[in-house]
Amino acid sequence: MKNARLVSRSSLLAAAALLAVPVIAQEAPSAEAGAAADIIVTAQKREERLIDVPVSISAFSANDIANRNVSTLDALQASVPGLRMVDIGPGSQRIQLRGISQYQGLPTVGVYLDEFSVLTLGASGTAEIRLLDLERIEVLRGPQAALYGESSMGGTIRYVTANPDLDTFGGSALGEISTVKDGATGYRMEGVVNAPLIQDKLGLRIAAARENLPGWVDGALGDDRNGQDNTTIRGTLLFEPTSALSIKLLGLYNKSEQWVKNYALPDRTTAQIVPSIANQDYWLGTLVVSYDVGPVTLMSSTGYLDQSGRSVDDSAQFYNNLFGAPLLTTAVTDSRGNFRRWSQELRLTSNGTGPLRYVAGINYFDAESSGLTTGDGESNVLPPELLGVVFEQDTDSFRSKALAVYGSLAYDFNDVVTLDVGGRYFYDRRSVDSVFTLIGFPIPPTVTDQSGSFRSFNPSVSLSVKTGESGQVYGRVAKGFRSGGFNQVTNPIIPPTYGPETLWTYEVGTKQSLLDGTLFVDASVYYNDYKDIQANQLVNPTVATVVNAGNARGPGVDLTVQAKPIPDLSAMATLGYNNLRYKGQTLDRNPGDPADMVPDWTWSVALDYTPRLNDQVGLLAHFDIGFIDEARITIRSRTFNQTAFTQARAVANLRLGATFGRIEGYVFANNLFDENKIVNPAFGAFFEPTRTRPRTLGIGARAAF
C-alpha cells in the first residue's frame, strides 16, 4: 500500500544543560532519579531493571507522558537520542533511529504494540499509535533483529499498554481547548474506565480519545484548512483465573483524517489548489496467553491488523522542474490502499534468578497490501496524456510470508561478568502482482508478477561488567537486516529484483546510578557499518525504482542524563550525534553524503518542579526544549538531481498548573517561541515544505476517580 508521503552553538548549550538534568522514566512526580535505573522493562523479552539491560534504551512512563502533555511519540523525538520522525500527514510517518533512514522499501525501525508488530510493507504508513493510557514506551537503539525481526535495523519502538486493574474500579478524564497562532481553535478529550468484573480474576479497561488539531495554513482552498481529527478507542480484557495463567484480549480502533496536509510557505500560506487529503484508519486485535509452569513461562501471542489509507498530492511543480518548463497546471496523484497483517508467536522464557537465563521463540506472519494509485493532470500546453502523468498503478497483491526462529542466552560467569548471546534465523517469501498503465501513451501496460525469497541469520552478542549494584559497562555487537523486493517496471537497465541490506553496529556503553540514586547516566558510543543500501532511481517522471548501491559507515553517540537534585525538582537532558556517511561514488550518492533526513546533532532538556503546598494542594511546572539539527535529502538519477534541506530548530514547551486532590488544572504553550522552520523540505513530488506547528496556547483539566 502506497501512502503519502547553529551546530557548534547548540552543542555547547547541550553540554551546559547536562550539568542540570533527568527523568525519562520516573514513576511519580516525587520519584528519585534512581527510579529510572530501577524501572522494569521487557526490552529483551524478559523482565529486567533498565540499568541491567546491555542495550541503549529510552523509557517513558505514563507520568512522563502526562508531564509533557503529549499525545504522539513525534512530540518526544528530540528527547530520544538518535530518533527522527518525519510526519507529513496521517499515514505518512517515517521513523529512523541512529541514522538508518530510507524512503523506499521496508521500514528500518520495528514498531510494536505490546507483543504485536504493526509494521507495513512500505517505508511509511505504519499504524500510528496514540499515547493513550500507556504503561510506558521503550525505545531500543541499535539493531534489534535478533529478537524483534528483520526491519529492526536502527532499533525498535515498543508501546506497552496499561493492563486492567483486577481489584479496583476507577478511571480518569482529560479535557483541553487550544488555539494555534494565526489559526483555528482545537480540542482534546480523553477518558479511561477500569472495572473489575470478577474480583481478582477478570477485569475490563476501556480508553478513548478524540483530538482536533487546529489548522493554521491559509490558501486558495480556504483558511486554516490543515486541521486534523484523530479518534482512538481501545478495550482490554484481562483474565487471571490462577496466579500462573494470564489471558489478555485487546481491541483497538484508530482513525486519523486531514483534508489538507501541513505544506506551508514561510508566511504560513500555501499555493495548493487541490486538497492534499491524508487519511488512515485501522483496527487491530491481539490475544496474549501466558502460563507460568515453574521453571519456564510459556507465552502465545496472536495478532491481526486491518488498515486502510488514502493520500492525495498535486505534483505539478515536480514535473515542471523535471520537464524544465511550466507545462502542467496540476498533476494529481490519488493513492488508496489496504493492508492486513496476521501473526502468531510462541515463546518460552526461563524463570528464576540463577546464573543462566534464556528466551526461545518462533514467529510467523502473513502480511498483504493492495491498492490503486491514479494520476491525472491539467495543462495549457499539451494534453496531460502526452506528458506521461496520466497513469494507473493497480497492485492486486503485495505479500510477505515470513517465519523466524530466535533465542537468547544470558550467563553470569560470576557476580560481575555476564555474557548475553542471541540470534534469529529469518526466512521471508515475498511476491507482487501489479499492473502499471500509462493512459493515452502508445505503450503496453507493465505487468509485474514476481516472487522471491530472502533469508538471514542475525546475531547479537554483548558482554557486560557490573560496577556494583549501581551500574554496568557493556560492549555489544549486533547485525540488522532488511529484505529486498521487486521493481514494478520493465527496463533493461533496472534489475527486476533488488537485494537485502545489512547493518553491523559495534557499541560500547555504560549505565550508572550515582550520588545515592539522585543521578542516572546512560551513555553509549557506536559505529555503524551499513552495506548494500537500497537506493532510489527515477526511470521516468512517474516511476521510481530501487537498486542496491553503496555503503555507509560512521560513528555516533547517545547520552541521557537524569537527576533529582532536590525532592521537588526533576531534570533530564539528552544528546545525540550521528556521522553516518556514504563511502565511494554511486548512482545516487557522492562520497561523504549523509543519509536522507538524518541530523548530525540533537539535544533536549526537560525540567519538572512539583512542590506541595499541603496534603491536598500542589503546584506543577514543566519546561522542555528540544533541538534538531538541519538535515538533507538527495535525489540523483540520470535525468534528475535535487538536494533539499530541513532547518535547524529548537522548540520549547511550557506547562503550568496546580493539583487539588485528584483534580489537576493547567495551562500550556507548545512551541513557546514560535519557531517557524522547515521540518520536511519541498523535494521530489512533495508540493511544498512542511513546517513546525506555530505557537499553540491551551488550557486543560485532568481528573482521576
Q: What is the 3 state secondary structure string of 589-645?
A: CCCCCECCCCCCEEEEEEEEECCECCCCEEEEEEEEEEEECCCEEEEECCCCEEEEE
Biggest CA–CA distance in the chain, Å, is 81
Percent of the chain's residues with pLDDT above 90: 72
Contacts of 621 (CB under 8 A, 6+ apart): 607, 608, 609, 610, 655, 656
- Distance between CA 702 and CA 209 in Å, rounded? 13
Q: At CB < 8 A and 24+ separation, what contacts does 488-495 make? A: 488/393, 488/395, 488/432, 488/434, 488/436, 488/446, 488/448, 488/543, 489/436, 489/446, 489/448, 489/539, 489/543, 489/545, 490/446, 491/539, 491/545, 494/537, 494/539, 494/545, 494/547, 495/547
Q: Tell me whether strands 330-350 and 296-314 are parallel, antiparallel or unpaired.
A: antiparallel
**Nearest by Cα to 289 from 309, 305, 303:** 303
Does any domain span residue 105?
A: yes
Strands (E), 199-275: 202-213, 218-219, 228-239, 245-258, 269-270
**Nearest by Cα to 670 from 176, 172, 261:** 176
pLDDT at 9: 33
- Distance between CA 108 and CA 106 in Å, rounded? 7
Query: CA-based angle 526:531:537, to the nearest 5?
Result: 125
Please compute the mean of the pLDDT values over residues 306-312 and round it to a whole number: 96
Task: Label residue 639 by pLDDT band (50, 70, 90).
Answer: low
- Distance between CA 40 and CA 401 in Å, rounded? 33
Query: In this predicted model, what pLDDT tens digit does every residue of 340-361 receive, in sequence order?
Result: 999 999 999 999 888 999 999 9
pLDDT at 22: 30
pLDDT at 57: 94
Task: Label residue 151 by pLDDT band (50, 70, 90).
Answer: confident
Percent of the chain's residues with pLDDT above 70: 92
Please compute the mean of the pLDDT values over residues 516-534 and round it to a whole number: 94
Q: What is the 3 state secondary structure string of 335-376?
A: EEEEEEEEEEEEEEEECCCCCEEEEEEEEEEEEEEEEEEEEE
Provide the Cα torsion 360, 530, 99, 315; round to 10°: -110
How far is CA 491 from each of CA 29, 72, 540, 685, rounded to the nearest angstrom?
Answer: 61, 42, 10, 22
Tell me, what amino acid is at 200? D
Task: Label residue 33 by pLDDT band (50, 70, 90).
Answer: low
- Distance between CA 174 and CA 192 in Å, rounded? 9
Tell me, what amino acid is at 115? E
User: Could you tell me the CATH number of the domain that includes residue 75?
Assistant: 2.40.170.20
Does any domain span residue 110?
A: yes
SS3 state at 673: coil
Residue carrying the nine cell digits 518542579: 609
Predicted model pTM: 0.92
- Return the number of other C-beta atoms located less than 10 Å from residue 40's C-beta: 12
**Nearest by Cα to 131 from 70, 172, 215:** 70
**Nearest by Cα to 526 from 56, 173, 200, 174:** 56
Does any domain span residue 357?
A: yes
pLDDT at 87: 83
Q: 93: part of which helix (H) or strand (E)?
A: none
Tell me, what amino acid is at 37? A
Please give the full DSSP string across 57-88, using - where no structure is assigned. EEEEEHHHHHHHT-SSGGGGGGGSTTEEEE-S
Domain range enclosing 542: 7-704
Query: In this predicted model, what pLDDT tens digit does every residue of 203-245 receive, in sequence order?
Result: 999 999 999 999 999 999 999 999 999 999 999 999 999 999 9
The length of the chain is 705
Query: How many domains is the chain built from?
Result: 1
- Distance between CA 568 and CA 339 in Å, rounded? 47
How far is CA 391 from each of CA 314, 332, 375, 440, rounded to the nearest angstrom?
Answer: 14, 10, 5, 8
pLDDT at 489: 63
Q: Are 87 and 309 in contact (CB under 8 A)?
A: no
pLDDT at 19: 28
Q: What is the 3 state secondary structure string of 130-171?
A: CCCCEEEEEEEECCCHHHHCCCCCCEEEEEEECCCCCCCCEE
Is residue 28 predicted with pLDDT exceeding 80?
no
Does any domain span residue 1?
A: no
Contacts of 676 (CB under 8 A, 6+ apart): 266, 268, 691, 692, 694
Question: Mean pLDDT for the chain?
Answer: 89
Query: In this predicted model, what pLDDT tens digit does every residue of 41-98 receive, in sequence order?
Result: 988 898 888 999 999 999 999 999 999 999 999 888 889 999 988 888 898 888 999 9
- Return the number of other C-beta atoms located less than 10 Å from residue 47's C-beta: 10
Q: Tell me whether strands 245-258 and 278-292 are parallel, antiparallel or unpaired.
A: antiparallel
Residue carrying the nine cell digits 488512515: 280
Task: Label residue 539 by pLDDT band (50, 70, 90).
Answer: low
What is the DSSP-derived secondary structure letter of residue 280? E
Query: CA-based angle 217:218:224, to the nearest 5?
Result: 60
Q: Kindly state the cell numbers that stand for 531.
A: 552495506
Contacts of 9 (CB under 8 A, 6+ apart): none
- Distance between CA 260 and CA 255 in Å, rounded? 16
Q: Are 564 and 33 in contact (CB under 8 A)?
A: yes
Does any domain span residue 2?
A: no
**Nearest by Cα to 39 from 30, 28, 27:** 27
Backbone angles phi, psi at 288, to 5 degrees: -120, 120
